[in-house]
Amino acid sequence: MQAKIIDGKLVAAQLRSEIKNETAELAGRGIVPGLAVILVGDDPASRSYVAGKEKACRENGLYSRDYRLDENCSQSELLELIQKLNADTEIHGILVQLPLPEHIDSDRIIQAISPEKDVDGFHPVSLGNMMLGQEAFLPCTPHGIIQLLKSIDVSPQGKHCVIVGRSNIVGKPLANLLMQKSDLGNATVTVCHSRTPDIARHTREADIVIAAAGRPGMIGPDMIKEGAVVIDVGVNRVEDSSRKRGYRLVGDVDFEAVSSKASFITPVPGGVGPMTITMLLWNTLQSAKRSIPRT
């Protein structure tokens, strides 16, 4: 068996086409979805990620406003900026790029963002509504993974999904989404993590394996069953002197080896990554639509 590649770039492009069309329709009514992106400090990875978000906004008709703060800025300065953006009617989504410098309380910052503009889906109100199955902005990476499964007509319903990783950004919210009573849920979910003995015992029983642990190549062919669907969330830098940059990006899955056993698999890069920014655009669009007064 040779796994079929789940092309995240293609799926993202299809969704962005829908977003662009809807954004143009809204613009015709005088409403341009606006995203404010705040970057504190000058971390190269964060800077690159923020630039990607801004480019995606421009290409799809969204309004993007960029705030770059010095890494030594105070927490109160950042909170003041967020409060101004909460009250700004041109801004429908607020994103604070994580991680933040150690002297700033990330939880306090996330909670300061209005839930109506929490397009990252990290606010406790957003997460609480999601858990209850109520209307909420879904965290972008988990939502993107759900859309990738949908794109290959693989429903989680009745399947055993094993998630390796329990982060607040991916593992925990994804487990909840897959358990929801919905067309895109109804799965039986197992979450494995660093304290789980014999992770392979669980992954070998899974119909769908989602690797989000941040450990390069940790999922090998001996850890999945024949025909499983494998979603690789990991993005890890490993040294590679043959590359101009001196490194290459790999996932948490041994791609080549697992491809000979899985039915579907996402590549790294080009799998889950493009979906994360796409779902951020999707959330910003939804926020703009919700801002229209109901008659």
In-domain check, residue 278: no
Tell me: do 268 and 170 sit in the same domain: yes
Tell me: do 147 and 224 sit in the same domain: yes
- How many CB atoms are located within 10 Å of the residue 247 CB? 13
Q: Per-residue pLDDT for 219 more than 90?
A: yes
Tell me: do 180 and 68 sit in the same domain: no
- Which of 100, 126, 152 is at the close of a domain? 126
The mean pLDDT of 93-103, rounded to a whole number, is 95
Was 68 annotated as part of a binding site?
Answer: no
In-domain check, residue 14: no
**Cα–Cα distance list, 30 to 23, 54, 66, 172, 249 (Å):** 10, 21, 22, 38, 42
In-domain check, residue 184: yes
Domain coverage including residue 68: 29-126
In-domain check, residue 235: yes
Was 166 annotated as part of a binding site?
Answer: yes
In-domain check, residue 132: no
**To the nearest whole percent, how much of the chain has pLDDT over 70?**
100
- Which of 92, 126, 160 is at the close of a domain? 126
- Which of 97, 126, 155 is at the close of a domain? 126
Tell me: do 116 and 162 sit in the same domain: no
Was 165 annotated as part of a binding site?
Answer: yes
Q: Per-residue pLDDT for 111 more than 80?
A: yes
Tell me: do 154 and 255 sit in the same domain: yes
Tell me: do 144 and 237 sit in the same domain: yes
Give which of 94, 89, 142 is closest to 120, Cα–Cα.
94
Is 120 designated active site?
yes
Q: Per-residue pLDDT for 109 more than 90?
A: yes
In-domain check, residue 22: no
Angle formed by the axes of helices 273-290 and 140-151, nearest 10°: 110
Was 40 annotated as part of a binding site?
Answer: no
Q: Quick one: how far is CA 170 from the chain centroid?
A: 7
Question: By three-state DSSP, how is residue 163 classified?
Answer: strand
Tell me: do 122 and 144 sit in the same domain: no
118, 120, 232, 252: the active-site residue: 120
The mean pLDDT of 43-69, rounded to a whole number, is 90
CA distance 184 to 155: 6
Residues 112-165 have pLDDT tens digits of: 999 999 999 999 999 999 999 999 999 999 999 999 999 999 999 999 999 999
Tell me: do 206 and 257 sit in the same domain: yes
Which residue reads 């080896």 in tokens?
A: 257
Domain holding 52: CATH number?
A: 3.40.50.10860
97, 147, 207, 232: the active-site residue: 97
Q: Per-residue pLDDT for 295 more than 70?
A: no
Q: What is the mean pLDDT of the chain?
A: 95
How many domains in the chain?
2
Domain holding 234: CATH number?
A: 3.40.50.720
Is 53 designated active site?
yes
The mean pLDDT of 174-200, rounded to a whole number, is 95
Is 9 designated active site?
no
CA distance 28 to 22: 10
End-to-end CA distance of the chain: 56
Residues 9-38 have pLDDT tens digits of: 999 999 999 999 999 999 999 999 999 999
